[in-house]
Amino acid sequence: MASTVFDSSLFRDMFGTAEMRGVFSDEALVGRYLEAEAALARAQARMGVVPADAAKAIDAASRTITIDYDRLRHETENVGYPILPLVHQLSEAAGAAGRYVHWGATTQDIMDTANVLQLRAALGIVARDLRELHGILAAMARKYRDTPMAGRTHLQQALPVTFGYKAAVWLSSIDRHIARVDQALPRILVGEFSGAAGTLASIGSGGLEMQKLFCEELGLHQPTITWHVARDGIAEAVTLLGLVTGTLGKIASDVMMMSATEFGEVSEPFAPGRGASSTMPQKRNPISSELMLAAAKAVRQHVAAMLDGMIHDFERATGPWHLEWVSLPESFLLTASSLANAKFMLAGLVVHEQRMRDNLDLTHGLIVAEAVMMAAAPKLGRQHAHDVVYDACRAAIEHGGDLAGNLAKIPEIVEAIGMEAIRYHCDPANYLGLCGEMVDRVTATEPH
């Protein structure tokens, strides 16, 4: 029976996606092992080390073999690794050519290379979803470019911004993640064929050429030296996921708080029953955002594990490598879930523009006290203007009334900028800074 959220029939589509599970399933992983073994035989045949007919037989067997998974599991538990048990089955399936299976390789060569093949497929999914998110957020930023709302710092209203500006800030992180994935691929998509201690001693003088051909067969980069115990490439992949899910968690946090009854500025897309409570009929919980936030917290733990796992002993590790077996699939499943929820939630996000305006007016103009201060500063001096406006704000807070009304009672402010300017500067919609221009800058750039 299933025992974790990743394989649970109840929870698996909340903490992963079918597409990403397909990349990291047992069948897919064994398929990658077989793909690596077949590529090695083909590369060795190109060098004349393995007979061409034998390489063809191994290649054919790798594609047609029916794996006995019960036997593979039992032998893997005994050996500690799945490659030797798999080599037994592949050698049997290849007949006489089986004697050439796994020639000169070590277990970690095949497992590392298979993981890199998985990473190529998995990062392709992540990159695609990030690009789709770019499109969703760019459209949102343009649509709400000039929609004013309260900007908040330390959970308090600070200065006006626009919702398009907020979306563009989210978008800017997504665009950097797209660039990061593209830039990281050459460092991550590196094959591994180095032999027992990484020296290719089992092959000899032609080892580096064989390694090159092996990587060519799989469309991977050739390493400059073995990376059995240099795990920065694998760790970088998971760290990238930590950055991606961190951004999605930030977006989720914003959306959840803005969805709170007291804010009411956005709502997640409506679907019958989604986010419902078992006892409170009125509830519409932000489920997608909650899952995005949970994913960010869980992936962060895997990032820490992968960084810890970089510390390998000598030329082959005695345990840190195994951390990758846990963290790689789980990190990618969680990230896929977060991306899927982000696409669904943001594409259908309901934006309550009037509520944004109502919240912006909650302070009766106090949110733009800075605007009045800066307008009066040229005549009164910045510090004196600050002190005068500060007193007006305190009066509005303690005795009521709006900021404009309290400022109208201060002769030196009226004399400095005039009543019309007071009314203008006390309207939050007139103090949006360069929100629009910043939105335009972010949305003008398309990811490569």
* Residues tagged active-site: 154, 277
Residue labelled with tokens 């004013």 = 148
Distance CA 277, CA 138 (A): 33
Give the chain as a 3 state SS string: CCCCCCCCCCCCCCCCCHHHHHHHCHHHHHHHHHHHHHHHHHHHHHCCCCCHHHHHHHHHHHHHCCCCHHHHHHHHHHHCCCHHHHHHHHHHHCHHHHHHCCCCCCHHHHHHHHHHHHHHHHHHHHHHHHHHHHHHHHHHHHHCCCCEEEEEECCEEEEEEEHHHHHHHHHHHHHHHHHHHHHHHHHHCECCCCCCCCCCCCCCCCHHHHHHHHHHHHCCECCCCCCCCCCHHHHHHHHHHHHHHHHHHHHHHHHHHHHCCCCCCEECCCCCCCCCCCCCCCCCCCHHHHHHHHHHHHHHHHHHHHHHHCCCCCCCCCCHHHHHHHHHHHHHHHHHHHHHHHHHHHHCCEECHHHHHHHHCCCCCHHHHHHHHHHHHHHHCHHHHHHHHHHHHHHHHHHCCCHHHHHCCCHHHHHHHCHHHHHHHCCHHHCCCCHHHHHHHHHCCCCC
Phi, psi of 351 (to 5 degrees): -105, 120
Distance CA 339, CA 245 (A): 8
Contact 252, 293 (CB under 8 A): yes
Cβ-count burial 86-123 (b if 16+ within 10 Å, e if not): bbbbbbebbeebbebbbbbbbbbbbbbbbbbbbbbbbb
